[in-house]
Structure 1
């Protein structure tokens, strides 16, 4: 099993890098984890709707170029389905049992997602109705993927 996390922007904070490294290490017994970072587009505070759309489109194009053919695409999206950890685990297990050996999670930039990404996604999830920095969303996602594998394997993990 291969899992790719494709995200807009570079991780800068050490605590996030450390946390992500820890979960990638823990996940290594279940899956190969690949991190893909694409450059975020410069976006000043005051953008017109057209400029905002352009930024999202350029970021989406960069992400789409990095997606491997045949990968099952899960988009992190505020409009996606919100699952508890048990249901998320079951969803990942069903995806894998359906013959998918590569899952790509996509985390958009600070302005959100271009329609081209929404159209490309096989599935959309919402981590929370709360707003998180997209760098922190990577850490939360990896923790939940790790928890999902522990649930699949019926192994204990703190609740």
Structure 2
């Protein structure tokens, strides 16, 4: 399976770059992983709703350029469905069984995802009702995908 992590913004913190790199290396045994970053928009202090909506739309258009027609899109959204690690593993495994060969996980910027990206998504996934830094979510997501593959393969790690 080909998995794409599509995200807004660049990772600046060295510890996150190292963690993401480590999980990308581990995942290379199980899938073809691609990480795609699109530019983020600067949000002015005290930006109004209209400005924030425009920023999300601009970032959303950038994200949508990398989503192909046959991709199965999982958008990370606070209003999405919460799964445990085993359920996420089963979701990825079942998509493969159903013939999905290209899975795209989308992480928005600090304001979230545009309505257009949310409509394009085939599945909305939430990791928590809490808000996490979007840069940190990349490492958390990759760790959970790696954990999921270990569960699928019945290999030690999941405890």
Give the TM-score range, shorter chain: over 0.9
Taking the TM superposition and a 5 Å limit, the aligned residue runs for 1:138-157 are: 138-157=138-157
Distance 2:68 2:35 in 1: 13
Q: What residue ranges of structure 1 are gaps of 5+ in the alignment?
A: none
Taking the TM superposition and a 5 Å limit, the aligned residue runs for 1:7-46 are: 7-46=7-46
Distance 1:141 1:123 in 2: 15
2:147, 2:158 within 8 Å by CA — same for their partners in 1? no
Distance 2:37 2:84 in 1: 27
TM-score, normalising length: structure 1: 0.98
CA apart distance, 1:158 = 4.5
Distance 1:41 1:123 in 2: 25
**Residue-pair matches, total:** 159
Taking the TM superposition and a 5 Å limit, the aligned residue runs for 1:22-101 are: 22-101=22-101
TM-score, normalising length: structure 2: 0.98
CA apart distance, 1:97 = 0.8
Q: CA RMSD in A?
A: 0.8
Provide the residue aligned with 1:137 in structure 2: 137
- 1:86-114: CA deviation from partner (whole Å, max 9, x where unpaired): 11111111111110111000000101111
Distance 1:112 1:24 in 2: 24
Distance 1:129 1:42 in 2: 25
CA apart distance, 1:68 = 2.6
Distance 2:158 2:80 in 1: 26
Provide the residue aligned with 2:6 in structure 1: 6
- 1:124-147: CA deviation from partner (whole Å, max 9, x where unpaired): 100122211100000000000000
Q: What residue ranges of structure 2 are gaps of 5+ in the alignment?
A: none
**Farther-moved stretch of structure 1 (38-47 vs 143-152):** 38-47
Q: Which segments of structure 1 move beyond 2 Å, counting only runs of 4 or more? A: none
